[in-house]
Structure 1
Amino acid sequence: MSLHADFAECLLAWHADHGRHDLPWQATRDPYRVWLSEIMLQQTRVETVIPYFARFLERFPDIATLAAAARAEVLALWSGLGYYARARNLHRAAQLIVETHDGRFPQRAIDIAELPGIGRSTAAAIAAFCFAERVPILDGNVKRVLCRAFGVEGFPGDAAVERRLWALAEDLLPETHVGDYIQAQMDLGATVCTRGRPDCSRCPLAGDCVALATGRVAQLPQPRPKKAIPQRHTRVAVIEHAGHVLMQRRPPSGIWGGLLALPELPDEAGADDWLQQHFGITAGRRAALATVRHVFTHFRLDIEPLHVVVDGAPLKTGEPEMEWLALDALDAAGLPAPVRRILDALSAPDRINPP
């Protein structure tokens, strides 16, 4: 066969028998549910997303409910899923849909892409799945399939390579069944043409795949050019009083934006002086907990926690971003994963493994 001419037909036939058909967001054309699943699935595995998807919909069953919610509550339900800008953008987009679209989700990909946190590929997926618009997508799975099947060289994140892939994706679109075709591309990349261990023996494109024919399955798509990952370090204060710990609400944007985190100790400050100056604490019982390492996309962060137990009256911070959090209420709080690890370890510090 000509792979270019028969690509869509081949994928559709394969998907009918071997694709995924039972994911919780597939049996609907509701754009809210499809949108939520697409955002949650960015950089996150399906099995991780499924329980978050269910809990999120239980609390926020529609766009209006999400738009009316407090950001802190949205972030709390997102806690542990990572990449928190997704949750902030999801919340803001819901508010804009209510404010500027009368609560109705836009139907064209070009309009959907105007919402915060929705790029061209995600907008196209929503438009195709929910409104049958004939538009291509180009997520990570699709990039991998196209690069291998057609032997596309270069790092897919490079602007010139990405333009070539978009043109190819556009050219391969079938005239009908676009939603099924897009799901077939996603499923092939997620279950067969995987990044680490592709199962070429099960691939419907194996007979004409350029990467397989030339022995370059492991080399395509070409990886991002390697750069040294910066290493950073911070110290945080774990100030405990009567079963509560003092937390600080992070600024709306930036790392862990809007989440509760532990107060940071400035690098140049001595712990005793800083605790006394900010909270009037004369540190008596205190202990250094094991360092926690957290890996972000672009750097690694080592977090050194100092545990201080405060006796007597609770602290009066006088700062609106500071609040006391009960240690038995951690599950309901919006906390970054490493902060949760530190707080979970208060009763058993040896559970935190040094890097």
Structure 2
Amino acid sequence: MNNATIVAAPRGAAMDPGGLLRRAWALNWPLTLVGLVMIPTLLLALAGLVFDPRIISGAPAWLKPAKFAVSIGIYSFTFIWMLGFVQGRRARRLAGWAATLTAVGFMVEIVIIAVQAIRGVGSHFNVATPLDSALFSIMGAFVVLLWTAGLALALVLVMQRLPHRDFAWALRLGMFITLVGAGIGFIMTMPTAAQQEAWAAGAPATIAGAHAVGAPDDAPGMPVTGWSTTGGDLRVGHFVGLHAMQVMPWIGWMLLRRRDRLSSTQRLGLVFSAGFGYLSLVLLVSWQALRGQPLLAPDGLTLVAGAALALATPGLAAVALWRGGMKDAGMKGGRGDRVVR
């Protein structure tokens, strides 16, 4: 499958789930299988939410497996979609290995999360027993593997000669920003100051790391997301960052549909402007969380930084439009640009 097929699928093909599934399977069957397995996994987790009343760290026992099933499924199929843009034997081999390692990593993650839910204990940060500590360490090792596999795909995309440079950079920036968001997870695994003080005082180590800052992980949270409403929560930046691999390509695609009104230079500038704004948003909400502020209760400094970002991003977009010119005669009508529907 080439990138033209991925971007410009024939009409009707895009609506054929069987055809899309066959293409995904041909690109990388292990990761496709993982994505499909997440469907029954989600259904089982939803059943657990209904019939299992147990609470773990302030949340229903099966909420985390349900969330991870959705997240893993979306990430897996997006990763496979990006594989369709990779050309060349060596590049395809490297990207294929990255996808397969991603599949292995995700299966290990979801199995451990489900096992811990069945046991009625937390999966993340849990070091209460040798078994819990070992499982958490295994998860941590595979998270590093997942991040490295994502980096491999991002680097392969950078080396690809894709037909539309604006859409190509939307893909690349989306993957790199996703890696930033994923990297926030590493911060969560660091023991908090309170935990270190407790250990120094002789308290047993039961929890190592946290997603909340300035509040316990089981403190009150927002509906559905569970993000802390009494302290900072690193999961906000983690979540926003991870979905850059969907949002940025969508922005690139939307701009490409307007190639009759926007030159290639303008579209490229707008993609970089969007990338700047998206990355800045990830860093802003993460900085806010690290300072112990709930997402919906920012202080004055956070509001000022947010306002600056809200002004800077459209400002950069305006400059991109101005510098590129309202029309590019050389690109008018799509000359030199391959058609993308």
Q: TM-score normalised to the size of structure 2?
A: 0.26
Q: TM-score normalised to the size of structure 1?
A: 0.26
Greater fraction strand: 1
Greater fraction helix: 2
- Tell which structure's C-alpha radius of gyration is larger: 1
